[in-house]
Amino acid sequence: MKLIVGLGNPGNKYLFTRHNIGFMLIDSLSESDSFQKKYKSLIQKTQMSQHTVLLVKPQTFMNLSGEAVREIVDFYKIPLENILVIQDDKDQNFLSIKFQKSRGHGGHNGIKNIHEHLKSDNYTRLKLGIQSIPTEKSETHTSSDSSFNKNHFNPFNLNTSPTSEFVLSPFNKKEMEQIPKFLSQAKEAVLGFIEKGFEEACNQFNQKN
């Protein structure tokens, strides 16, 4: 069994924020809306490329993602080599994808929490670049916009850093136009991992970027 975990924050107000690109990819991989709520997650069991796959969207909020992943791994006895975690990466160019394994969390709180709960970094991550691309000034949402202020996006209503405000901000119009292409490329990469494993997926998809 393969475990594919997309990271994000639950709730409609986070749907198209940069931090939720993992949720967006899980929804793209899913062939239906038949997710079950259990193990602090939304889970769908399906078949992909002749493999049994669990598609997972943790519902713990990003910073506690490891709690949900640990429960699922323990219940289904999933080995680390069969785990793929889909995350956003603010330091990667928009539209870029990169497989990674056995590396530090890079300041990503969701990954940090998963490392802590699995007591290992020896699982595969698919990093999706969310760096912003230039847009017209009128299309850019800023922290002064009452619809997208930091309190609206912060689930704990705490003071946020510039990094937090960025990852919890929505994609701009130009980026949203390219999201379907981005998700299609990332979906192909996930299927590559399911079919061929980490090394082959790296060779095939990391070089494209």
CB neighbour burial string for 184-200, b if at least 16 within 10 angstroms, e if fewer: ebbeebbbbbbeeebee
CB 19 within 8 A of CB 180: no
Is 141 noted as a catalytic residue in this protein? no
Nearest to 208 by CA among 66, 51, 93, 106: 93
DSSP strand E in 15-62: where?
36-38, 41-48, 51-58
Residue 28 DSSP SS3: helix
Is the CA virtual torsion 41, 45, 46, 49 positive or negative?
positive
Among residues 19, 108, 115, 117, the one annotated as catalytic is 19
Is the CA virtual torsion 83, 88, 90, 94 positive or negative?
positive
Hey, which residues are catalytic here? 19
